[in-house]
Structure 1
Amino acid sequence: MNQQGAGCGQEDDWWRQLYGDGGGDDAPGRAAVRDAGPSDAADTLDDRVASALRAVATPRRPTPAPQPSPSPQPPPARPASSPSAPIPLQATGPGPRPASPARPAATSAPEAPGDTPAPAPTGLPADRPPPSEPELGTLPAADPAALDELVPDTALDGARYGSLTLLAASRRGDLARRRGDVRRDALLTARFGAGRHALILVAVATGRPAGEGAHRAAHEACARIGSAVGRSYTRLAEDIRTDHRSALKSGLQRLTDRSYGRLRGRSREPDATAERYPPALRCLLLPADPDCRTRVFFGIGAGGLFRLRDGAWEDLEPAVPDLTLHGDADGTGGRPRSVASRSPADGPDRPDPFLFRTAFARPGDTLLLCSAGLAEPLQQEPAFAARLAGQWSAAEPPGLVAFLAAAQLRVAGHPKDRTAVGVWEA
């Protein structure tokens, strides 16, 4: 007890020296403390400690409560503090928490430097996309026993070899999306060989007529012509490099006829419905050799072949004398176009004529191979053709997403599947 009492006495002496009445602020060995002013409270040790804390602590600026008046209230003046005041002590006991400022609405929050403002409303209904963007539809019905036959709504591919950039996209048309039908356009991109001796094949097929099995026929046509070209790519690449056009044409026609042999045979089967008529097939052969700028087109059936040069479209479709002429109402004045499909009355025994053409690519050219779903609006809608020409005439080819966005621009009256293959020449 004596030791405890002695300790308490020493502690009281220390507190008296720190907060006693004797001496001023300049007394040696005494902490500099400014008095907070006279107080009517009882002169106890606790009161002195509380008074000292109030004197040395820097008051916080109170947070103004939300006022009904729109004009803000000025904050209270901050009292001047002495440069010799000690560091404020932190209270450890419980106490009232400062009021949290009201959170501003998201629309009134100030933007940080570099922030992008939210897009303004377009005025279109919130539940409908802009007219130029395709609408999503329902998924086609799936067979649990044949899930490998499912066809995605959209296919996208691309590559770069030497001086050429290849971009390819195939998408389901608006009509098929609304009906929940499968995409009947098929797309195949394949490379055979390596290095300068490689040969790139792009095949586009469209099943006809619409119905069950048309998409299978289109995919089979692409697969068969791909296998045939892959087995003969060395000879084909050599004929392209040496410009042996007659040998190239006869060889490709023989490969195409063999690939279609099984499809034509199947069309004669009694239960053949949608596969009665072989699909349209259109192909491009692109040598990877940067010194060879010859591009080869071949195939059968509807579609389009165009070249964008100096900002204008050129129609490179081979002339086909035995197909319907596009021109005047009486069928005269137009040049033969293979974009016109044969009438079903022609029957499956009358195959489409073989199409063949070679083209020499110049730097800055863009070659476009497409199915009938894109060829028709490109031929019949000048505004659509001009818009594509403007987007694809830049010095650099577009990216994959930009290419797809341009190829699927909606045009009234043209709801078919679309497949586009663009080749940009550097």
Structure 2
Amino acid sequence: MGSGPPTYDPEPTALPVADPEDLAGLVADTVLDGAHHGSCVLRAVSVRGDSARYRGEPRRDALLTARFGAGEEALVLVAMATGVRATPGAHRAAAEACAWIARAVGRSHSRLAEDLRAGRRGDLKSGLHRLTDRSLGRLRAGAADQGLRPEEWSASLRCLLLPADPGCRTRVFFGVGAGGLFRLRDGVWQTVEPQLTEMAPDAPPAETPEGDRLTMDLGLPVPPSPYEPAPGPPRAPFRFRASVARPGDTLLMCTDGLAAPLRDEPGLSAHLTDRWSAAGPPGLTAFLADIQMRVKGYADDRTAAAVWEA
């Protein structure tokens, strides 16, 4: 799709360079997963982009799917992350971000599942905000070990929480950074990405309690103060959305590698509408083929998780 044929070959070419002393760090070209819990069917995939395939670079996107608990008390987590472009080992940072948030959610899954069933959106938002901050904080803390600045050893992070209880149709999205959250309802795509109405945790207020407007941050360097430590890099705002699914809905969470062409290329959204408006969800290989639909000018990694509601 697009203005012409894609620049790169449709299949993988060069493998990433391997370190014989660190074979555990190898990243597969493609990861594919799926499940059926409660009233929803999950499909998830992460695919190396055409550009990385051509250059023999590893996939910077990471994908993690996990079920915590058993029966109707279980909670399903889908986490995806993208490492910082041009940072050595960015794929490791993405994988670590997914692992940190999975550990945090897994340790708190009983309380999170209870809050989901009870509809405590405020508790969910504040709790998941803390877990996300701690997880990404742990990731940034390891930057020095890599010889990098904290903002380089970081990642965008996007997550879905799905209760296994068929009587609970609340779906929770949370995360930090670029990507997309879409819903296909009655044959029409809707952008349901949360609006950023709140500032980052360490950002200054827009005005004083007395109502005086503060000077805008123009990105100018601040002279060091002998009384205060130098401020750290600004953090991206936390994103949160809890919504109630309807039978027939399809919810799609993805990294920016798929979100950008889905927003910009009408042919791609129309194609997925035709493919996903059928009687049931696609099988794993069919879902992989759908996500791999190529669009001229878009060659980044693509990671996506789609949830079909029964």
* TM tier, smaller: 0.7 to 0.9
Cross-structure match for 2:109: 233
SS in 2 for 1:416: coil
Cross-structure match for 2:155: 279
Q: Is the 8 A contact 2:64 2:79 kept in 1?
A: yes
Is 1:421 matched up with 2:305? Answer: yes
- Structure 1: 4+ residue segments shifted above 6 A: 129-133
> Take 1:149 and 1:237, find their aligned partners in 2: how far apart are those partners?
33
> Take 1:409 and 1:193, find their aligned partners in 2: how far apart are those partners?
35
1:119-134 matched pairs, under 5 angstroms:
134=10
SS in 2 for 1:419: strand
Higher relative contact order (CA 8 A, sep 6+): 2
> Take 2:102 and 2:37, find their aligned partners in 1: how far apart are those partners?
19
Cross-structure match for 1:392: 276
What is the aligned counterpart of 1:405 among 278, 286, 289? 289
CA displacement, residues 283-322 of structure 1 (integer Å, 9 cap, x when unaligned): 0000000000000000000010000001110000011258
Is 1:252 matched up with 2:136? Answer: no
Cross-structure match for 1:296: 172
Is 1:172 matched up with 2:65? Answer: no
TM-score, with length taken from structure 1 = 0.62
What is the aligned counterpart of 2:192 among 309, 316, 321? 316
Structure 2: unaligned runs, 5 residues or longer: 200-218, 222-230
What is the aligned counterpart of 1:143 among 1, 14, 19? 19
Task: Give aligned pairs, total.
Answer: 277
CA displacement, residues 177-203 of structure 1 (integer Å, 9 cap, x when unaligned): 111000000000000000000000000
TM-score, with length taken from structure 2 = 0.85
Q: Is the 8 A contact 1:170 1:186 kept in 2?
A: yes
SS in 2 for 1:137: coil
Cα separation, partners in 2 of 1:277 and 1:387, compared to 1, 3 Å:
same
SS in 2 for 1:222: helix
Cross-structure match for 2:96: 220
Cross-structure match for 2:66: 190
Cα separation, partners in 2 of 1:390 and 1:219, compared to 1, 3 Å:
same
Is 1:353 matched up with 2:229? Answer: no
> Take 2:16 and 2:151, find their aligned partners in 1: how far apart are those partners?
18
Structure 1: unaligned runs, 5 residues or longer: 1-128, 324-342
CA displacement, residues 372-424 of structure 1 (integer Å, 9 cap, x when unaligned): 00000000111111111111111110000000000011100110000010000
Q: What amino acid sits opposite 2:74 in the alignment?
A: A
Shift of 1:134: 2.6
1:76-95 matched pairs, under 5 angstroms:
none
> Take 1:354 and 1:255, find their aligned partners in 2: how far apart are those partners?
11
Is 1:154 matched up with 2:30? Answer: yes
> Take 2:86 and 2:147, find their aligned partners in 1: how far apart are those partners?
16
Cα separation, partners in 2 of 1:392 and 1:271, compared to 1, 3 Å:
same
> Take 1:375 and 1:150, find their aligned partners in 2: how far apart are those partners?
26
> Take 2:90 and 2:9, find their aligned partners in 1: how far apart are those partners?
26
Is 1:181 matched up with 2:57? Answer: yes
Q: What amino acid sits opposite 1:256 in the alignment?
A: T
| Rg (Cα) greater in structure | 1
How large is the RMSD of aligned CA atoms in angstroms? 2.3
Could you tell me the percent identity over the aligned residues?
Answer: 61
Q: What amino acid sits opposite 2:22 in the alignment?
A: A
Cα separation, partners in 2 of 1:159 and 1:130, compared to 1, 3 Å:
same
Which structure has greater strand proportion?
A: 2
> Take 2:263 and 2:106, find their aligned partners in 1: how far apart are those partners?
33
Q: Is the 8 A contact 2:151 2:233 kept in 1?
A: no
